[in-house]
Amino acid sequence: MKIPLTLPDIDDNDIRIVNKSIKSGWLAHGKFNSIFEKKFAKFIGTKYAAAVNSCTSALELALWANDITSGEIIIPSFTWVSTANVVMLSGCKPVFSDVDLDTRNITAELLGPLITQKTKAVIIVHYAGLPCDIDKIKKICSKKKILLIEDSAECIGGKQKNIIAGSIGIGCFSFYPTKNITTAEGGILTSNNLNLIKKVKALSAHGVPNNALERKKKKFSWIRNAKYFGRNFRMPDPLAAMGITQMNKLKQMNMKRNKIASIYNNKFLKIKNFIIQQTPPGYYHSYQMYSLIIKNIYKKKFIKHLNNKGIGASSHFDPPVHKQSAYKKFSKIKLKNTEFISKYTITLPIYSLMREKDAHKIAEIVSKDYKEFTNLKLK
């Protein structure tokens, strides 16, 4: 048995459209970018989207385009380090929040006390595919006049009732190969603000407002007039092309992920030492990852044991950001839930191409073998 942690779902349609883009000879930001942006924005429920080269770039652009270059930004510590990196690189200071034990997400109640006169923005992270309480958090941010950014890297298609993750704040998504859809590398920013999107697109293309395809239609196509000090965060056309066909099967792929998750949940709910991620009523989990807490587990040894059995288990995220070398000085307080979750969480394989029988095998092995790697006296 050899089951990877994740596997991208790439079929003949994906390959054909990438080939079509390559054979066109136009490999830079082009017509497929525009098609992909419109398709993605429609799915999320925003008016606009701007395709870029990563979610990290989208997060940086969300701050940069709003002229946030100082002050404090509240983020959860239980996240991938890029969420904190963009805060630091923008010139701001990260303020780390704890997360809820059941959902693994930041909540309005947790971030509320952290807001000060220095707070410029809140970046919420929809962990593993489960949205935060977007509605309640948005109300706080609106009242305090704080920018809300949704790090939806792990949550393409996740919903809070009728609210799709990435549709209320500035949405930032990832298309890395481990995500619900992939463009190999890539990201996108979503918003209802046309002026923001225009600025984001210019900033992501060396500060020049009109891209190469648009300039090609003009009389003097070689004129490139930079309006801002920009970077190169553009997504190439062939990658955007793959995004189009990936979007066509997103709902189906998310349904398959949910089926695998239900197999795990049905098995693990019966075990006292296991804590599964709770999906609140009315929420839809897109299960980019499957996260399981096993209390008092010797995690490193247990993950190695599973790997030796051909199961691509891992852990997300260990250590949490506030415990990492570069960020220790920014957090003097203990984040109780974050540190507990980080210590005992394992990530199990989940992807749309995964066979249900393999999920049953993994669930059985995890349920039986974990006892060898626990010490109930551990705190």
CA distance 131 to 249: 21
Last residue of a domain, one of 223, 248, 273: 248
Range scoring the smallest mean pLDDT among 44-53, 273-282, 350-359, 367-376: 367-376
What are the structure tokens assigned to 116, written together? 């000060």
Q: Are residues 324 and 265 in the same domain?
A: yes
Regarding whether 256 and 227 lie in a shared domain, the answer is no
- Mean pLDDT over 271-280 rounds to 97
Q: Do 273 and 202 share a structural domain? A: no
Q: Is residue 102 part of a domain?
A: yes
- The CATH number linked to 27 is 3.40.640.10
Task: State the pLDDT at residue 224.
Answer: 75
Q: In which band, very low, low, confident or very high, does the pLDDT at 209 lie, cut at 50, 70 and 90?
A: confident
Domain's final residue, options 216, 233, 248: 248
- Does 327 lie in the same domain as 213? no
Residue 212 has pLDDT above 70, yes or no: no
Mean pLDDT of 3-28: 96
Decide the pairing of beta strands 93-97 and 72-76.
parallel
> What gap in Å lies between CA 266 and CA 134, rounded to an integer?
28
Are both 345 and 358 inside the same structural domain?
Answer: yes
Same domain, yes or no: 92 and 125: yes
Task: Supply the pLDDT for residue 218.
Answer: 62
Are 136 and 160 contained in the same domain?
A: yes
Q: Do 188 and 259 belong together in one domain?
A: no
Contacting residues for 254 by C-beta, under 8 A, at least 6 apart: 156, 157, 180, 286, 287, 352
pLDDT score at 379: 42
272 & 206 share domain: no
The answer to whether residues 264 and 238 belong to one domain is no
Q: Does residue 6 fall inside a structural domain?
A: no
Give me the domain span that covers residue 364. 251-373
Does residue 378 fall inside a structural domain?
A: no
Given a cut of 60, whether residue 205 has pLDDT beyond it is yes
Q: What is the mean pLDDT of the chain?
A: 95
Q: Say whether pLDDT at 315 is over 50.
A: yes
* 128-137 mean pLDDT: 98
Query: Does 203 fall in a domain?
Result: yes
CATH assignment of the domain containing 307:
3.90.1150.10
Q: Among 21-30, 57-66, 117-126, which stretch is predicted with the lowest mean pLDDT?
A: 21-30
Angle between helices 31-44 and 237-248 (to 10 degrees): 40
pLDDT higher than threshold 80 for residue 217: no
- Domain presence at residue 17: yes
Residue 379 lies in a domain: no
Contact 235, 33 (CB under 8 A): yes
Residues 104 and 233 in one domain: yes
Question: How confident is residue 222, by pLDDT bands cut at 50, 70 and 90?
Answer: low
Q: Is pLDDT of 329 > 50?
A: yes
Would 86 be classed as within a structural domain?
yes
Kindly report whether the global pTM for this prediction surpasses the value 0.85.
Answer: yes
Determine the pLDDT at residue 219.
55
Residue 143 counted as domain residue: yes
Tell me: pLDDT of 78 over 50: yes
Q: How many domains does the chain have?
A: 2
> Cα(55)–Cα(53) distance, rounded to whole angstroms?
7
Question: What is the percent of the chain with per-residue pLDDT over 70, rounded to a whole number?
Answer: 96
pLDDT-based confidence at residue 322 (cuts at 50, 70, 90): very high
Among 248, 282, 305, which residue terminates a domain? Answer: 248
Using the predicted structure, report yes or no on whether residue 216 has a pLDDT greater than 90: no
Q: Are residues 116 and 169 in the same domain?
A: yes
In this prediction, residue 376 has a pLDDT band, given cuts at 50, 70 and 90, of: very low
- pLDDT class of 210 with cuts at 50, 70, 90: confident
Smallest CA-to-CA distance from 261 within 367, 129, 78, 96 is with 129
